[in-house]
Amino acid sequence: MMNPLFAALILLLVSAWLCLQQRPNQQQPNDGTKAEWRGASAARFAAGLLLLCAAVAGLLQRVLDLPPEAGLLLQQLSLYAALPLLVVVLATDALGYQWSRMIWGRLLLALCVVFELCRRNNQLDALLITIAAAAVIALLLALWKMSAVRVWLAAQLIMACGALAWVLASEHQPEPLLFWLSMTSISVMPIWADRISRI
């Protein structure tokens, strides 16, 4: 089993990379002009910030030996809001939809409402399984659309299926950091694949 401290460190690096790649007002490499900040990039940036805060809280919790309740809010925000947001971004990119930042903000609020309803009805485990299944479906859509990097995405599809099987087999008590790590890497994979295909 992976060391939780190592998983938190990797999650910190992946989420920091996501924030860096999706930050507003990036300059285009060819002509130096600033690109418009698309809604999907804003959603990825917001999710990356939530994941980054949760990773920092997880690292501090493990290094300083803080009680588990110390980072519970950030853990739940990243697990039940940021990850589903990344999965929806992956699906909409695969389907070719371009939503505005306002729509992505409303979607984030809707995900928070879904979390609260599931929490009150004691269905958070079912929500995690739904998130993992949605990630697999979104990755299949991305794989279907991005034929140049099918081998790369196929490896991530296997990882997504493994994450789903792991959640199902763990009696609905997954280690949140490992779940975040697998789901985040799945959700940002098309960004990496797109950059690799340009090289």
Query: Residue 27 gets which letter from DSSP?
Result: B
pLDDT in tens, the chain (199 residues): 556 677 777 778 878 887 887 877 764 555 566 667 788 888 989 988 998 888 888 888 878 887 877 778 888 888 889 889 988 998 888 888 889 989 999 999 999 999 999 999 998 888 888 887 788 788 777 777 766 556 566 666 666 666 655 555 555 454 555 555 556 665 565 555 555 455 4
The count of domains in the chain is: 1
Q: What is the pLDDT of residue 117?
A: 94
Would you give the end-to-end CA distance of the chain in angstroms?
35
Q: What is the pLDDT of residue 160?
A: 64
Give, to the nearest 10 degrees, the angle between helix 4-22 and helix 39-63: 150
Buried b (16+ CB within 10 A) or exposed e, 38-66: bbbbbbbbbbbbbbbbbbbbbbebbeeee
Reduce the DSSP state of residue 54 to 3 states and report it: helix
Q: What is the pLDDT of residue 27?
A: 47
Measured at the CA of 101, the angle between CA 98 and CA 105, to 5 degrees, comes to 120
Q: What is the pLDDT of residue 69?
A: 79
For 196, other C-beta atoms within 10 Å of its C-beta total 11
Domain of residue 174 covers 4-198
